[in-house]
Amino acid sequence: MSNTYTPGPWNASKNKYQGLVISEATGANVAVTYDVKDVDLVAASCDLFDAAQAIENEAEECIDFDGFTAMLVPMDAYHKLIDAFNKAKGL
């Protein structure tokens, strides 16, 4: 799958009512949110996608002693996901 979206990271800009999502790489406007509460989630979407892709690429399947399947996720991929969640929450 090729990445055909505007390059990230994307940053949120807010006023009292709306949000604007801007590409840090290009300076281009990516999106407008008509409720300021939504801008952090939209701005984090590139980071969330990249974190999910890292987990997909780096996770390893393992089977424990009870026959249950589990996934081992490298800590750097896990931290990438947590950072993206925090950005989506506006933290």
pLDDT tens string 30-79 = 999 999 999 999 999 989 988 998 888 888 877 676 777 778 888 898 89
Within-domain flag for 51: yes
Within-domain flag for 16: yes
Domain count, the chain: 1
Within-domain flag for 3: no
Candidates 12, 46, 9; CA nearest to 32 is 12
Which alpha helices (H) appear in the chain, and where do they start and end? 39-43, 45-58, 75-88
Within-domain flag for 57: yes
Q: What pTM did the predictor assign?
A: 0.77
pLDDT at 12: 93
pLDDT at 1 over 60: no
pLDDT at 2 over 70: no
Within-domain flag for 1: no
Mean pLDDT of 2-12: 81
Q: What does DSSP assign to residue 38?
A: G
| Residue 47 lies in domain | 10-88
Within-domain flag for 76: yes
Within-domain flag for 56: yes
